[in-house]
């Protein structure tokens, strides 16, 4: 995962749309304490910081020091944002100190999502809310003349590429199992009609080539004509009672 890749997603129309919705669902207010878990290069920190204002705090946590350095640079003008090295499985945060928590495409990668959710519950105050923006790669659709090729691509990505590839659909259950009250779940379908954008964000050509080599797809499909692909991201909202 590179900073230009993450910036590209955030700048795309589908990326901007679901990210704005996640911030809206966080229902942030002045003076709140918010944490962005797996904050990467600080993609969402400015939006969180502006919503809580200088009387609040935002802590961005990531296990990647290079990402944290970029996030630090990008939030230098907002001193109520701090960055910490840490792992979602063992958050460097006090019990019950956060009003709001956020993840964006992070739980799809962690070794133990249930443990990460237990940590999120631990750090939330009673009444605190978490918004989890996580995809479900089984719902990756690419229009190909032979539909088997598109289905093969989705099977390749879910089986070989992303560790917790179908976490989107499971988060409501996992939140409930972690003792969180699920408030709402939304599914946002991003639609790509331009193969170059789909290449940048989904790696559609690159992954077709890999899927052929791995035996999931017979031959790389011709994507030179009219193009359509879609990917699904779930926004799961839960609270600690
Ligand atoms: C797909 S990036 C998303 C970054 C950011 N949330 C965004 O929307 O641009 C996933 C981030 O999660 C971080 N990450 C993955 N597993 C982690 C873990 N167990 N603990 C802390 N950070 C983790 C990675 O270092 C990476 O920065």
Q: Please tell me the distance between residue 38's alpha carbon and the centre of ligand 1 in angstroms.
A: 4
Which pLDDT value is given to residue 1?
75
Q: Ligand 1 atom 11: the closest Cα is on which residue?
A: 38
Q: What is the pLDDT of residues 104-161, one digit of tens each?
A: 999 999 999 999 999 999 999 999 999 999 999 999 999 999 999 999 999 999 999 9
Strands 229-239 vs 181-192: parallel, antiparallel or unpaired? antiparallel
Residue nearest atom 12 of ligand 1, based on CA coordinates: 38
Distance (angstroms) between ligand 1 centre and the Cα of 180 equals 22
Q: How far is CA 45 from CA 41, 86, 91, 103, 148, in A?
A: 9, 16, 18, 11, 40
Domains, the chain, ordered by start: 3-239 (3.40.50.150)
Atom of ligand 1 minimally distant from the CA of 19: 8
Distances (CA, A) of 95 to 121, 129, 185, 240: 9, 14, 26, 12
Q: What is the value of pTM for the model shown?
A: 0.97
**What is the residue with the minimal CA distance to atom 8 of ligand 1?**
104
Q: Which residues line ligand 1 (CB under 6 A)?
A: 1, 6, 38-40, 43-44, 62-64, 67, 87-89, 104-106, 109-110
pLDDT at residue 20 in the model:
97
What angle (nearest 5°) sits at the alpha carbon of residue 55, between those of residues 52 and 57? Answer: 60
Distances (CA, A) of 163 to 106, 107, 114, 207: 11, 9, 14, 16
Q: Per residue in 160-170, pLDDT tens?
A: 999 999 999 99
Cα–ligand 1 centroid distance for 130 (angstroms) = 16
Ligand 1 atom having least distance to the Cα of 105? 1
Name the closest-CA residue to atom 10, ligand 1: 106
Q: What is the pLDDT along the chain (241 residues), one digit of tens a residue?
A: 799 999 989 999 899 999 999 999 999 999 999 999 999 999 999 999 999 999 999 999 999 999 999 999 999 999 999 999 999 999 999 999 999 999 999 999 999 999 999 999 999 999 999 999 999 999 999 999 999 999 999 999 999 999 999 999 999 999 999 999 999 999 999 999 999 999 999 999 999 999 999 999 999 999 999 999 999 999 999 999 9
Whole-number pLDDT of residue 159: 97
Average pLDDT, the chain: 97
Which DSSP letter does residue 161 get? I
Pocket test for ligand 1, best of 26, 34, 109 (most atoms within 8 A of CB): 109
């Amino acid at each position: 995962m590179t900073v230009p890749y993450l910036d590209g997603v955030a700048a795309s129309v589908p990326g901007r749309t679901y990210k704005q919705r996640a911030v809206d669902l966080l229902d942030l207010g002045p003076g709140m304490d918010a944490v962005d878990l797996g904050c990467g290069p600080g993609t969402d920190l400015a939006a969180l910081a502006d919503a809580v204002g200088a009387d609040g705090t935002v802590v961005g946590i990531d296990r990647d020091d290079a990402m944290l350095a970029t996030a630090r640079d990008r939030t230098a003008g907002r001193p109520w944002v701090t960055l910490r090295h840490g792992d979602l499985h063992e958050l460097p945060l006090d019990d019950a100190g956060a009003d709001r928590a956020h993840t964006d495409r992070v739980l799809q990668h962690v070794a133990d999502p249930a443990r990460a959710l237990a940590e999120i519950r631990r750090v939330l105050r009673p009444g605190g809310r978490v918004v989890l923006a996580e995809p479900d790669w089984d719902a990756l659709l690419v229009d190909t003349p032979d539909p088997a090729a598109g289905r093969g691509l989705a099977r390749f990505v879910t089986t070989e590429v992303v560790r917790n590839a179908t976490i989107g659909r499971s988060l409501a259950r996992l939140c409930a199992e972690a003792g969180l009250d699920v408030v709402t779940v939304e599914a946002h379908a991003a639609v790509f009609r331009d193969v170059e954008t789909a290449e940048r964000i989904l790696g559609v050509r690159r992954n077709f080539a890999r899927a052929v080599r791995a035996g999931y797809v017979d031959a790389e499909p011709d994507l030179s004509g009219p193009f359509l692909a879609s990917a699904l991201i779930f926004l799961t909202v839960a609270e600690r009672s």
